[in-house]
Each structure stands twice: as structure tokens, then as C-alpha cells.
Amino acid sequence: MWVILAVVIVNAVIGFTQELRAEQAIRSLAALAAPRARVIRGGREVEVDGAHLVPGDIVLLASGARVPADLRLIEVNRLEIDESALTGESLGASKDVRPLAAERLALGDLKNMAFMGTLVLSGRGKGLVTGTGRATELGKISEQVRRVKPAPTPLQVQLGRFSRWLGYGILAVSGSAVLLGLALGRSVPEMLLTGIALAVGVIPEGLPVVVTITLAIGVKRMAGRNAIVRRLPAVETLGSTSVIASDKTGTLTKNEMTVQVIFVGGVTYQVSGIGFEPKGWITGPNGEPVRLKDHPALRLCLRAGLLANESRLGFEKERGWYPQGDPTEVSLIVAARKAGMDPDQETRAFAVVDQIPFESDLMYMASLCRHPRGEGKFIFVKGAPDRVLEMCTHVVTGPTGEEAPLEDRGAILEQYRALAGDGLRVLAFAYRKESAAVETLWPASVEEGLTLIGLQGMLDPPREEAFQAISQAKQAGVRVIMVTGDHQVTAVAVARRLGMVRGENVPVLTGLELEDMPDEELYHKVRYVNVFARVAPLQKLRIVQQLIKRGEVVAVTGDGVNDSPALKAAHIGVAMGKTGTDAAKETSDMIVTDDNFASIFAAVREGRVVFENIRKVTLFLLSTGLAQIILIPTALVLLMPLPLLPAQILWLNLVSNGLQDVALAFEPGEKGIINQPPRRRTEPVISRLMAERLVIIGAVIAVGTLYTFLWALNQGYSLDHARTVALTTIVLFQLFNVFNVRSEVESVFRMRLLSNPFLFFSVIASVIAQIMIIYVPAFQFVFRTAPLNAQDWVVLALVATTVIAAVEAEKALRRFVRVKRAEALARRR
């Protein structure tokens, strides 16, 4: 009783602490929601706590500040805000103050708004507070997280159902055994003790502990694969996952803008390497790395990207290469470095005299630079292709820098649309020579007479390892879908590169479409749509809820505040450790420390191993119980003495199940486990195969034990001696049987004995324990045992080996049937 009570208390404490830690999500969101704010009150600029803001306050924004409330912008000066934590869009959002004509827009399209919790990348601004606390977009997410109830895991559901039926069954069997014994004239105390001992012996009370241990072992193994599990049930849930709804930015992609294509003078150049590390090269149409001295036009385009630029590429030994400023501008610096250009030398040689910063209404940036030899000056311009094209009268027509009048603007626009159709963000570059006397730039003096140099297309690159992981997921029957706040074209392009979708007409749902779509229609759409773009946080939650409603076991990955509701609602929420916000981490069930989608899939395999080991433990524990259920009533019906006393039943439960069940938790995964389809959410812990094998094992153990008990009585042994024979027979049966349950299909003779050393030594320990209660006088008195002779041991060992023979025959028959079915299927094809 004390042991069982201790187990219950330990399990309750573990579950409570795990859930308590999980609910820190709300506190994390509250901490994120309370920055300091600079406001204008009484005509003076003052700093107040963000919690003290009220609608109508005028807030000042500056580079590096966190937006303290939802604001309607009224003044901006080159204001750019990182909204990725809220919208999932990888690029900084440029802001303006112009009214928006459309009535319903995604958060990422509200250019005249700034949202609480987002970060100002550059520029300045002034905004009117429109919402604070729960009235903000971030507050709405926080409120939704509070209301969302996490879905129970398939293991929790099935173990709960299994426990109820097992409890009812054991109560019925024990009660029937007691009534049967009383009806046959047995004494009331004897049958009450027998019934209680039978119930305790049959109930696998070690199962909750072993499940916890098995899950804990899975946690340790996953930690070695960069996956930190915050809730134990999440370990097994990963193994049964059928859909992974993944964020794009920072999860499937690196969240590092990278120039991939440069179009100059009618020539398309490819840029290798990804991320901010300037490692790679630029290749021409023939695939050979280019030398800049042979491609003056390319050098000019890269130079324009370096000089019409306000950002820097930083490097620290601990951090490596990192952006200082707009990631898009930093990608231009990285591309130039890959071609062998030194940004510092270029900025010294072409010293910047004046600049026109990027403005959303101008759609370009311009720099006035001195000629390194004092031969006048240059104006370098970068901006939106259609806007820059309007400002150009000439174009670079060849790789050596020849120029000609710009006559075919349609060809340039077609090239731009082709690059944009591949999901690239495209910038155009132009220049013009100026006299040495020019010292100041004005928009009116810049917006005509330029020479178009070319285009640079950049993309937040997909992770290389994500492609392989998604391919393996398909083989494992796991569907991967993308749910992102980014634009539709970009989302589809990344999905194609990762092999998530194929073909031209890819079905996509956008946030605007979801807004008007009823849940009934979305329920049918989520069955085949794999890309969701411009999705708001609560829309992502709706997608997850409909997937769960369809019977899918859903894992959601994310890193932003916007992902928190969906992370909590899913069967398992997976947050990114490096780029993830605190809110996402605290809401999640698992954190991937290297932000690698491949680590998630590695954890899926470990999850499948965990569930298989739980099944093996369950089969092993129930086999002894079923044998006792058959043995005791049979002995009663045959009017035989009871083969086991209550104390011996309890000992049997300890010595045959107490160590081996824990050892089975350390079993390595079987071959090919990851290539099997995911388990159905409704699939019971005891599968049909297990149920059939359980009946075989239980029957063999019961019949074999009854045989040795009768054999001992016929030998003239005392009743205590015969009961000792029966007890030892069941112990030996289980010591052999533990090797049977290590695999559902593979022969015990093909498995390495020491692949699980803990199991091997647990068997040795059980044999020693059984020998002690047989031959140590103190234990003989407690358990009413008698010493066995050599003949007894030989007979018992031979009988116990029949359980291996029976299961091996059953496995061989299943393998034979499987091969014949495969051959028949091949002939039909």
C-alpha cells in the first residue's frame, strides 16, 4: 500500500509541476507587453511606463525602441518596424501615414499602424494610441492563449480508456473468483485474500511508473538531438503526429535575406551560399565563377548596392556574421563580398557626400558619391523596380558596361516579374554621372536621366536540412503544411523549393479568404491545402482546430508571439530556441535549441520508439496477469488446491515485473520504425496483434504452470513444495517472455542479447531474488516455499522455454503470411 501510495504522489507532483511551468505563457506575454514609452503630455516630452498609456496619447518612436501600444501613425521619417514576432513576415515593414482604402487587411498590410510588442528597426515616428492592454493585437493573442485548452495527447486518451476497461475487467474477474470459491466450499478468509491478491497481482500498477520512466528516457534522448521537451506526454505525441503545421520564417527558412540572382546587361548571374556569412561565389551563365575585372557591369551593380546603403555587416567571434540594420540591405553587402569586393575600401574610395534616405512615398534611396580620382561624382540609386525604371532613360546592355537608350521597358519588367514569381524580393539599381560641383541631392534632381544597371533578387533561403527532413516526413506518412504571415508568392516559392508542393496551380489560402470562410468550409479545405499565407494569429488557431477536428494529431512549430495560441491548442507545440520569443517558448511543449526543422523530425522518431516501448511494457505486464486469471479459476473449477498463495502472488508481481518492465523502457528503436505510417489517434494501446499474442502467451504460461503444479503433486511433493514449483515456473516463464516482447516481428534469436544491457542484468537479478526466497529460511517462512532439487529446475526450465517456441512460431507465421500477401499484390500489379 505504501509503495503504491508513493507512486501516486510522485506522479501527481510531476504532473502538477509540468503544467505549472506551462502556464507561464501568460506571464511571458504580459512582460513583453509592458515596455517604457516616450509620450507628449502637456506639451512636453516625458517617459512613462507602457502600462500607463491611454488611448489618445501621442507616442514617439525611435530606432531600437519597442512599440508600447497599438498606434495610428501620424508622422514618419524612414520608419521601418520588425513585425515578424506578430505577423511572421521576415522583412521589416516600411510605414507611412496615408489612409488605407481597403476595409479589411491583414496585420502585415496595415502600413499606417504600429503594433505593441514589435521592434523599430530604423527611422523615427509619432503615433496616436488606439489600443492598450487587451485591446491591442498582442493583447488579443494573450487573451486567446488564456482561453485555449490544450488538446489531450493520444497516449493520455488511450491510457485512460485502457485503464477504465482493465479496472472493470479485473474487478469482475476477482469478484467472480471469490464467488466461485465460496460456491465450491472454500473458506471466506481464504477466498477474500485470494481475490484481493489476484486483483493486485493482475493490475499492472507498475505501468504508470514505467510510462513515466519511458517518457523520461525519451526526453533524455531527444535532448541529445537538440529537442528540449517541457511536458512528458509530448514525447509520445510526436511519434503519433500526422500533420506538422510549420511557420516559415526562422523555421523552414534561415530568416537571413540572401541575394540569389543578379540580372545585369542581359546576363543572369547566380549567387551561391546562404545567410549573412559571405561564403560563396557568383557564377555566370556557363556556371563558372566570374572575375569582376571581366564583368564591369556586374561590379557596377554590386557597387551601387554597397553605396546606396545605410546598413552594415558585423562580425564577432562569438556571434559570427550578423546584420546591423535592414537585413535586405545587408544582403547586398554580403553579395558584394562574395564577388571579392571590400565594403570598407569601396566606401573610402567612393565617399558618400549626401543621401536621400528610403521613403515609402519615394520608393527609392539615392547616394551622391565622389569619384575616387576626382573626376566628378556619381549618383547611385536603389529601389522598387517599377519606380526606378520610371527614372531611367538609358540601360546597361552588356557585361562590359555598354549603355544604350532604354526603349524596351517591357522586357525589364518581364524579367522583374519572373524573379518575383520565384518568390524573390527584387531591387533595381541605377546610376548617373554628375559634375564635381554638385554637393546636394534633391528628389527632383535625381528622378530623371538615370541609367539602369540591373536587378538583384533576394530570398530568405530555405534551410538545407529542412528539405531532407520534409522528404523523410513524407516517407513516414507525416504531412507538412506551411502557415505563415508572409506573402503568398513567397510562401509558395519556398514550399516548392522544399518539395512541400508541386505543379503550377498550387492551392493556397490567404488570411483575407479565411476571414470570410466559415469553419465548415475550412474543415474541408485543410484536407488538401498545404500553404496558408498572410495568416493572422487567430486564423492560424482556426486552422489547427479544424485539423484536430478532422482527427489529425497536430504538431505546430513557431517562434513568434503570433504563434502562441496555435502552439497551445495543438497536441504538441514546438518553439524555436534561438529565434523564438519567450511567449512562444513558454506556451510550447517542446523547444528546438538549434531552430532546425530536421531536429523536429528526429524527435518524431524518438517519439515512435517511446510508444513502442510502452506497448512492449504493457504486453509484458499483462501476460502474467492473464496467466493468473486463467490459472486460479481453472484450479478452483477442477477442485484443486490453489497453485499460489496470496503472498506468492504479490511476490510474483514484484520479481517478474518489478525490474524487467523498467528495463524494457531502455529498448532501442526497431529497424524501419520511421518508415511506418503514423499511428491513428484512436488506435488503442493494445493493438490487435498484441491482443492475439497476449492470449497465446497467457494460455501457454497458465497451462505450463498448471502442468508443473500437477506434476509436483504426482511426484508426492508436499503442497508447499508444489506451490514453490508453480511460482518458480511462472517466474521463469516471464524471464524468457521478456525477450519475446522486445520485437513484434523479429525473431528473438536475431536480436543482440546485450543491445539492452539493463534488461540482461535485470533478468539475472530476478533469478537471484527467486533463488533467495526458495533457499533462505527467513524467506521460506514468509512465502511458504520449499527448496527445489536439480530435477525440479530442469523440468521447470524446459517447460518455461515453451513460451519462446510458441511466440517464435506465431512470428514466423505472420512473416510468411506477409510475404505471400506481398507476392500476390505484386502479381496483381
More confident of the two residues 483 and 107: 483
Q: Quick one: pLDDT at residue 25?
A: 39
Q: What's the whole-number mean pLDDT along residues 765-784? A: 89
Over 310-375, what HEC string results? CCEEEEECCCEEEEECCHHHHHHHHHHHHCCCCHHHHHHHCCEEEEECCCCCCCEEEEEEECCCCC
Looking at the structure, do residues 744 and 798 belong to the same domain, yes or no? yes
In this structure, what are the phi and psi dihedrals at residue 120, rounded to the nearest 5 degrees?
-80, 120
Q: Quick one: pLDDT at residue 805?
A: 94
Looking at the structure, do residues 435 and 534 belong to the same domain, yes or no? no
Domain presence at residue 651? yes
Q: Quick one: pLDDT at residue 181?
A: 83
Question: At residue 20, does pLDDT exceed 60?
Answer: no
Q: What's the whole-number mean pLDDT along residues 347-370? A: 88
Question: At residue 266, does pLDDT exceed 50?
Answer: yes
Q: What is the DSSP letter of 107?
A: G
Domain presence at residue 143? no
Question: At residue 340, does pLDDT exceed 60?
Answer: yes
Question: At residue 341, does pLDDT exceed 90?
Answer: yes
Which residue has cell 536603389?
Answer: 382
The band of 143, judged by pLDDT with boundaries at 50, 70 and 90, is: confident
Cell triple for 814: 505472420
The band of 829, judged by pLDDT with boundaries at 50, 70 and 90, is: low
Residue 40 pairs with which residues in a beta bridge? 45, 58
Domain boundary, last residue among 551, 578, 601: 601
Q: Which residues are catalytic?
A: 247
Looking at the structure, do residues 86 and 190 belong to the same domain, yes or no? no
Looking at the structure, do residues 203 and 303 belong to the same domain, yes or no? no
The band of 457, judged by pLDDT with boundaries at 50, 70 and 90, is: very high
Residues with Cβ within 8 Å of 229's Cβ and at least 6 positions away in sequence, in order, are 218, 219, 222, 223, 235, 589, 590, 603
Q: Quick one: pLDDT at residue 12?
A: 63
The band of 581, judged by pLDDT with boundaries at 50, 70 and 90, is: low
Amino acid in position 634: T
The band of 3, judged by pLDDT with boundaries at 50, 70 and 90, is: very low
CA–CA distance, 247 with 400 (Å, rounded to integer)? 43
Domain boundary, last residue among 432, 459, 486: 459
Q: Indicate the average pLDDT of the chain.
A: 84
Domain presence at residue 425? yes
Domain presence at residue 513? yes
The number of domains in the chain is 4
Which residue has cell 530568416?
Answer: 255
Amino acid in position 668: P
The band of 446, judged by pLDDT with boundaries at 50, 70 and 90, is: very high
Domain presence at residue 533? yes
Q: With 0-12 CB in 10 A as exposed, 13-18 as middle and 19+ as buried, what is 99? A: exposed
Residue 261 pairs with which residues in a beta bridge? 270, 457
Q: Quick one: pLDDT at residue 357?
A: 85
CA–CA distance, 117 with 85 (Å, rounded to integer)? 8
CA–CA distance, 785 with 334 (Å, rounded to integer)? 81
**802, 700 Cβ separation under 8 angstroms:** yes
Among 660, 650, 621, 651, smallest CA distance to 774 is for 651
Question: At residue 310, does pLDDT exceed 90?
Answer: no
Task: Write the CATH number for 248.
Answer: 3.40.50.1000
Q: Quick one: pLDDT at residue 18?
A: 44
The band of 626, judged by pLDDT with boundaries at 50, 70 and 90, is: confident
Q: Quick one: pLDDT at residue 304?
A: 96
Q: What's the whole-number mean pLDDT along residues 22-39? A: 54
Per-range mean pLDDT, top range of 76-80, 126-130, 766-770: 126-130
CA–CA distance, 423 with 217 (Å, rounded to integer)? 43
The band of 153, judged by pLDDT with boundaries at 50, 70 and 90, is: low
Model pLDDT for residues 652-662, shown as the tens digit of each residue: 776 766 678 77
- Taking phi over 0 as left and psi of -120 to 50 as alpha, with beta for the rest, 423 belongs to left
Which residue has cell 546587361?
Answer: 265
Q: Quick one: pLDDT at residue 17?
A: 57
Looking at the structure, do residues 262 and 242 belong to the same domain, yes or no? no
Question: At residue 5, does pLDDT exceed 80?
Answer: no
Q: Quick one: pLDDT at residue 150?
A: 62
Check the CA dihedral 713-715-721-727 and report its sign. Answer: negative
Q: Quick one: pLDDT at residue 729?
A: 94
Q: Quick one: pLDDT at residue 55?
A: 93
Q: What's the whole-number mean pLDDT along residues 383-399? A: 92
Range of the domain at 737: 169-211+606-671+681-828
Task: Write the CATH number for 104.
Answer: 2.70.150.10
Q: Quick one: pLDDT at residue 799?
A: 95
Among 90, 240, 254, 277, smallest CA distance to 597 is for 254
Domain boundary, last residue among 435, 459, 483: 459
Cell triple for 284: 555566370
Q: What is the DSSP letter of 642?
A: P
Whole-number CA gyration radius for the chain:
36
Question: At residue 388, does pLDDT exceed 80?
Answer: yes
Looking at the structure, do residues 202 and 84 belong to the same domain, yes or no? no
Q: What is the DSSP letter of 253?
A: B
Looking at the structure, do residues 274 and 387 belong to the same domain, yes or no? yes
Residues with Cβ within 8 Å of 733's Cβ and at least 6 positions away in sequence, in order, are 627, 700, 701, 704, 705, 800, 803
Q: What is the DSSP secondary-structure string of 721-752?
A: HHHHHHHHHHHHHHHHHHHHTT-SSS-GGGS-
More confident of the two residues 396 and 466: 396
Q: What's the whole-number mean pLDDT along residues 395-423? A: 90
Domain presence at residue 17? no
CA–CA distance, 112 with 519 (Å, rounded to integer)? 31
The HSE-up count of residue 74 (CA atoms within 13 Å, CB side) is 11
Q: What's the whole-number mean pLDDT along residues 197-213? A: 71
Q: Quick one: pLDDT at residue 451?
A: 95
Question: At residue 89, does pLDDT exceed 90?
Answer: no
Q: What's the whole-number mean pLDDT along residues 288-308? A: 93
**531, 515 Cβ separation under 8 angstroms:** no
Looking at the structure, do residues 497 and 528 belong to the same domain, yes or no? yes
Task: Write the CATH number for 701.
Answer: 1.20.1110.10
Looking at the structure, do residues 451 and 472 belong to the same domain, yes or no? no
Task: Write the CATH number for 381.
Answer: 3.40.1110.10
Q: What's the whole-number mean pLDDT along residues 760-787? A: 89
Domain presence at residue 820? yes
More confident of the two residues 502 and 24: 502
Looking at the structure, do residues 60 and 175 belong to the same domain, yes or no? no
CA–CA distance, 71 with 126 (Å, rounded to integer)? 9
Model pLDDT for residues 545-560, shown as the tens digit of each residue: 999 999 898 999 877 6
Lowest mean pLDDT among 55-64, 514-523, 683-692, 808-817: 683-692
Over 42-71, what HEC string results? CCEEEEEEHHHCCCCCEEEECCCCECCCEE
Q: What's the whole-number mean pLDDT along residues 351-359? A: 88
Looking at the structure, do residues 656 and 805 belong to the same domain, yes or no? yes
Question: At residue 710, does pLDDT exceed 90?
Answer: yes
Looking at the structure, do residues 125 and 51 belong to the same domain, yes or no? yes
Residue 264 pairs with which residues in a beta bridge? 267, 454
